[in-house]
Chains A and B, each alone.
Chain A
Amino acid sequence: MTTNNTDKDFVVFDHVQKSYDGENLVVKDLNLNISKGEFLTLLGPSGSGKTTCLMMLAGFETATNGDIRLDGSPINNIPPHKRGIGMVFQNYALFPHMTVGENLSFPLEVRKMGKSEREEKVKHALDMVQMGEFSGRRPSQLSGGQQQRIALARALVFNPQLVLMDEPLGALDKQLREHMQYEIKHLHENLGITVVYVTHDQSEALTMSDRVAVFEDGRIQQLSSPDDLYERPENSFVAQFIGENNKLVGQVASIKGKVASVKLDNGAKVDCLAVNCGKVGSRTTLSIRPERVSLGGTKSKNTTDAVVKELIYLGDHIRCRMEVHGNEEFIVKVPNSAGHKHLVKGEKTSVTWAKEDCRALDA
């Protein structure tokens, strides 16, 4: 039995830095521990360094500085083909000159596995992704979703402990993408493998992952579970990047325990949760989720006037753009439920939110 420690630190990035030109760091001091069986997503805008991290783990890029450890041993100097890490590529990278079966049997052949064992494993892997009958087809004869499944099966067929996925669903349409998200999640749960998943699609990251690392500018901005990430963002980048967010800018007037009083730029004062706002007098950005804002309702300290600027009908809810505290881009989601008040453009109303739902973050 492995000790609890290596289970927790299955993959370790220890002060890893990466630079391509010797002048700019693409990855700045990355520290990350991934435990066995975890589904970890690296999420971030393009150019944030997330794919570079994945490539360093796969061995296609070398870390300029720092250590990467896999199952306790450093892998910096181990070539990619000896790392035993499964990988799913963005455009699947299925070999066009081989059939599906040959594609799957390739990693087994290079491991010098016997023919009958190979066939059995290929069949098992294909059945696992419900593609059992497609063994004799060429990748070009398959649809995007089918190719995706084959790529998945090929990365899993040699039973790797760690599987890396580089935006594997990027080329699929929305419906298929959502379907594949569940399938990948189920495979992960059933096989108990560790998955490191790269995406720039935040909803994908939230639905699939155990933990999400939000990348920006070569750094992890926040590493936490999906619900924490959405409900308790630690800085304004994460708040802005994950989900929809209303921003109000102001200056910290006073802090009492966990509650900060912020003086907004238009002069109004708002109570909010002090998360990452610094000392009294420093600039801060307030973050409020649109669905946590209610129309009218009981008056409290955070109730304020609002003018309806635009209404967008979305079926289950109505997106309402309002002017609140001088911010014309303030979004409120009004549920389309029975008996709910319907707004009209130009109408003056009031909005309110709980102070726990208003987070004071860095400027």
Chain B
Amino acid sequence: MSNTNTVLASDGTSLKKSLAKSLRRQKIRALLLIAPLLFFVLLTFIAPIGDMLFRSVENNIVSDTLPRTVKVLSKWDSMSGQAPDEEVFEAFARDLKIAVKSKLHTKLGSRLNYEKTGISSLVRQTGRKVKKLDLDATPSFKDAFEKMNKKWMDPSVWQTIQQFSSKYTDGYFLAAADLTRTSEGIQKVDEDKKIYFKLFVRTLYMSLGITFMCILLGYPIAFLLATLPMRSSNVLMILVLLPFWTSLLVRTSAWKVLLQNQGVINDFLVWLGVIADGNRLELINNVTGTVIAMTHILLPFMILPLFSVMKTIPPTYMRAAKSMGANDFMAFRRVYFPQSIPGIGAGSILVFILAIGYYITPEIVGGTKGVFISNRIAYHISSSLNWGLGAALGAILLVVVLALYWLYDKFVGIDNVKLG
């Protein structure tokens, strides 16, 4: 049946096949052309993100360093309130001895230290002593460990080891959500240790604030750019693009000079007599500083999409509205503004997503009250070296951005985003 329906090419093969054949060459050519870029993107974008996502749940260190201990410890009842029995200590002694030889025990210590402070020094100290321990001549390993350090009798140390003995862990994500796993299950951490949730919320509302400020400041500029005659709009365009040609660090540092307590703005206001000398405005190292500097830095990303959308709105629309009796404001509100919304959408997405992951500017002008979650991620990646937690925070940030993007698509429609 289907054979009779297929259209045949002149040489008797099916037309679909010969079409595919004739297009194959073009497709291969196209693929080859983009191959370098594809490879580059895979290597420098997809792979690192995948690696980061993996690191946020990866937990090989305990099971790799203490294979025997993990095996026997699984039989131990963590709720017993007692340290595990001799068998576990013996396995632990053998594992630790090997680990010390290859110096892996310090890594194990710092990994477990994320979950329970003090384990790092405990493992290091014990490691030195285990070196001298004769495995075959030890009557009781439990006693030997008790002698090395009393903390080994504390069941919570063993609970931690047992909890993180699996190859994968949700510990980083729990920590990133200000939660911790205790013997009574998952619980919230103490109020004074809750930092990440607060940081996430702050990052979100500050990014929203920055986006809003960018719309407020960028819209009139984009409107001018789109409506002024060519010559003046070109000059204006250069002014808009000028920040792009200046180093980000220079611009941010300039804000530091302007905004600080003894800075240009405060000095000027004191000189004018607007504020008293002893009552200088706190413009930097807080939320205000971050919002001001970030708005300035991200403003072109709002102006350019807005401009390119506004450029496509013919001036006759406004004229038509006026000829029908609408005054300037009405014509703008009912005719011009609705058509510029795709530009606002594009600019907002761009600015918001850039803002939510911004790092350098909040680091310089944000102080402690104006930093973003990204600064915390950077801290875990480069200072505390807790890459797992950094990765978990990053993964949450990624999910939040994707969720917001999805919400945006649902309510505004991604089709309404135009870059020109």
Looking at B76-84, B283-291, B317-325, the stretch in contact with chain A turns out to be B317-325
Distance in angstroms between the alpha carbons of A91 and B320 in the assembled complex:
11
Q: Report the Cα distance A282→B240, complex, angstroms.
A: 62
Q: Chain A residues near B322: list those with CB within 8 A.
A: 59-60, 79-81
Which one of B19-27, B196-204, B333-341 contacts A? B333-341
Cβ-based interface call for B3 (8 A): no
Q: Is the CB of B320 within 8 A of A89?
A: yes
Contact indicator A93/B320 (Cβ below 8 Å)? yes
Q: Which single member of A95, A154, A155 contacts B317 (CB below 8 Å)?
A: A95
Please judge, given known A-B contacts A95-B335, A96-B339, A97-B339, whether A89 and B326 are in contact too, CB under 8 Å. Answer: no
User: Among residues 303 to 325 in chain B, which have CB atoms less than 8 Å away from a CB atom of chain A?
Assistant: 314, 316-317, 319-325
A96: B residues at CB distance < 8 A: 339
**What residue of chain A has the Cβ atom nearest to residue B313's Cβ?**
A96
* Among candidates A85, A90, A91, A95, residue contacting B323 with C-beta atoms closer than 8 Å: A85
- The verdict on A87 contacting B327 (CB below 8 Å), with A95-B335, A97-B338, A106-B334 known, is no
State whether the Cβ of B35 lies closer than 8 Å to any Cβ in chain A.
no
Query: Is B402 at the interface (CB under 8 A from chain A)?
Result: no
The secondary structure that dominates the B interface is: helix
A278 within 8 A of B: no
Decide: A91 near B339, CB < 8 A? Known: A81-B323, A81-B326, A107-B325.
no
The smallest beta-carbon distance between A163 and chain B, in angstroms, is 10
**Which chain B residue shows the least CB distance to A87?**
B323
Query: Using Cβ atoms and an 8 Å threshold, which residues of chain B touch A80?
Result: 319, 322-323
Residue of B nearest to A102 (CB): B334
CA of A106 to CA of B338, assembled, Å: 14
Closest chain B residue to A82, Cβ basis: B325
B330 within 8 A of A: yes
Q: Say whether A314 faces chain B, with CB atoms less than 8 Å apart.
A: no
- Cα–Cα distance between A93 and B326 once the two chains are bound (Å): 15
Interface centre among A96, A107, A110 (most CB of B within 10 A): A110
In this complex, the interface size class of chain A, counting residues with CB under 8 Å from chain B, is: 20 to 34
User: Which residue in chain A gives the minimum CB-CB distance to B316?
Assistant: A93
Q: How distant is A196 from chain B, measured CB to nearest CB, in Å?
A: 13
**A322 vs B335: C-alpha distance in the bound complex, in angstroms?**
57
A164 CA / B322 CA spacing, docked (Å): 13
* CA distance in complex: A65, B316 (Å): 25
CA distance A4 to B170 in the complex (A): 92
Does the CB pair A93–B324 fall under 8 Å?
no
User: B residues 84-131 with Cβ under 8 Å of A?
Assistant: none
- Taking the complex as formed, is A158 at the interface, i.e. its CB lies under 8 A from any CB of chain B? yes
**Would you call the interface of chain A mostly helix, strand, loop, or mixed?**
loop
Instruction: Count how many pairs of residues, one from A and one from B, have CB atoms less than 8 Å apart in the complex.
Output: 65
In the assembly, what is the distance between CA of A264 and CA of B176, in Å? 100
Is A101 an interface residue when CB atoms closer than 8 A count as contact? Answer: no
Select which of A60, A90, A91, A107 is within 8 A of B324 by beta carbon.
A107
User: CB-defined interface of A67-94 with B at 8 Å, one 1/0 digit per residue?
Assistant: 0000000000001111111110111010
Tell me whether B319 and A89 are in contact (CB under 8 A).
yes
Across the two chains, which residue of chain B brings its CB closest to A163?
B323
Chain A contacts for B330, CB-based, 8 A: 110
Contacts known (A97-B338, A97-B339, A106-B334); A81 close to B327, Cβ less than 8 A: yes
Is A342 on the interface with B (CB-CB < 8 A)? no
Tell me, rounded to whole Å, the shortest Cβ–Cβ distance linking B314 to chain A: 7
| Residues of the A chain whose Cβ atoms lie less than 8 Å from the Cβ of B319 | 58, 60, 80, 87, 89, 93
Q: Would A91 and B334 be within 8 Å (CB), given that A81-B323, A154-B324 are in contact?
A: no
Q: Give CA–CA (A155, B196) in the complex, Å.
A: 60
Please, which residues of chain A bring their CB within 8 A of the CB of B324? 81, 86, 106-107, 110, 154-155, 158
In the bound complex, residues from chain A placing their C-beta under 8 Å from that of B338 are 97
List the A side residues contacting B326 at CB < 8 Å. Answer: 81, 106-107, 110
Known: A80-B319, A97-B339. A91 touches B325 (CB 8 A): no
Q: Is A179 an interface residue (CB 8 A)?
A: no
Using an 8 Å CB-CB cutoff, how does the interface string of A27-69 with B read, 1 for contact, 0 for none?
Answer: 0000000000000000000000000000000111000000000
| The one of B316, B325, B327, B335 that contacts A89, using a Cβ cutoff of 8 Å | B316
Chain A 145-162 interface 0/1 with B at a Cβ cutoff of 8 Å (1 = within): 000000000110010000
Partner of B320, one of A59, A79, A82, A87: A87
- Point out the residues of chain A lying under 8 angstroms from B335, CB to CB: 95
> Chain A nearest CB: distance from B338 CB in Å?
5
Return B148 CB to nearest CB of chain A, in Å: 77
Q: A60-B319, A80-B319, A110-B330 known; A93 and B314 CB under 8 Å?
A: yes
Bound-complex Cα distance A124 to B322 (A): 22
Q: Which residues of A contact B327 (CB under 8 A)?
A: 79, 81, 110
Report the Cα distance A28→B314, complex, angstroms.
29
Instruction: Quote the shortest CB–CB distance from B151 to chain A (angstroms).
Output: 70
| Closest Cβ–Cβ distance, residue A273 to chain B (whole Å) | 44
Q: How far is the CA of A111 from the CA of B321 in the complex (A)?
A: 12
Residues of B within 8 A of A158 (CB): 324-325
Question: What's the nearest-Cβ distance from chain A to residue B391, in Å?
Answer: 44
A93-B317 contact in complex given A106-B334, A110-B330, C-beta closer than 8 Å:
yes
Q: Which residues of B contact A87 (CB under 8 A)?
A: 319-320, 323
Most chain A beta carbons < 10 A, residue from B322, B327, B335: B322
By a CB distance below 8 angstroms, the chain A residues around B323 are 58, 80-81, 83, 85-87, 155, 164
Taking CB as reference atom, which chain B residue is nearest A83?
B323
Listed by A's residue number, 25 A-B pairs whose Cβ atoms lie within 8 Å are A79-B322, A80-B323, A81-B325, A81-B326, A81-B327, A81-B328, A86-B323, A87-B319, A87-B323, A89-B319, A91-B314, A91-B316, A93-B317, A93-B320, A95-B320, A96-B339, A106-B321, A106-B324, A107-B326, A110-B325, A110-B326, A110-B330, A111-B325, A155-B323, A164-B323
Q: Which 7 A-B pairs have the closest CB atoms?
A: A107-B324, A93-B320, A87-B323, A93-B316, A80-B322, A110-B326, A81-B322
| Other A-B pairs, 20, CB within 8 Å; known A79-B322, A93-B317 | A59-B322, A60-B319, A80-B323, A81-B322, A81-B325, A81-B327, A86-B324, A93-B314, A93-B316, A95-B317, A95-B320, A95-B321, A95-B335, A96-B339, A97-B338, A106-B321, A107-B325, A110-B324, A110-B327, A164-B323
Binding site for B on A (CB under 8 A): 58-60, 79-87, 89-91, 93, 95-97, 106-107, 110-111, 154-155, 158, 164
